[in-house]
């Protein structure tokens, strides 16, 4: 588990919103709706790139909507460094 994710409540919330969407493929606007519903407010699109760098997301295919929408795939738990640790981390966070 990345120490950056452990120590960054904002990234934890974005990761949780990705999982809450309920589909392995997400885009910013879809995750932003889940985030707004669960936590209020919004987050910057760059947070998805940070989650990619940490191994939680991967770019999925090409963009659409004239290049204005980037799709991300939530990686299989087996590909995340510590899937059990991630699940426990997100369960243990006060992500109201």
Domain 3-92, CATH among 3.40.430.10, 3.30.750.210, 1.10.3720.10, 1.10.10.1420: 1.10.10.1420
- Domain layout of the chain by residue ranges: 3-92
| pLDDT of the residue at 61 | 77
| pLDDT tens digit sequence for 71-81 | 999 986 555 55
Average pLDDT over residues 18-24: 90
Two tokens, residue 96: 């109201």
Q: Are 87 and 75 in contact (CB under 8 A)?
A: no
pTM: 0.78
The reported pLDDT for the residue numbered 67 is 63
**Spacing of C-alpha 91 from chain mean position:** 15
Q: What is the pLDDT of residue 31?
A: 97
Helix (H, G, I), strand (E, B) or coil at 55: coil
36: tokens are 């707004």
Report the pLDDT value the prediction gives residue 89, as an integer from 0 to 100. 67
């Amino acid at each position: 588990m990345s120490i950056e994710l452990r120590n960054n409540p904002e990234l934890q919330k974005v990761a949780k919103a990705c999982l809450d969407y309920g589909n392995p493929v997400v885009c910013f606007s879809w995750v932003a709706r889940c985030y707004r519903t669960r936590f209020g407010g919004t987050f910057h699109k760059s947070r998805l790139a940070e989650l990619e760098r940490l191994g939680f997301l991967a770019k999925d295919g090409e963009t659409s909507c004239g290049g204005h929408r980037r799709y991300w795939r939530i990686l299989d738990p087996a590909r995340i460094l510590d899937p059990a640790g991630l699940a426990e981390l997100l369960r243990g966070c006060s992500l109201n």
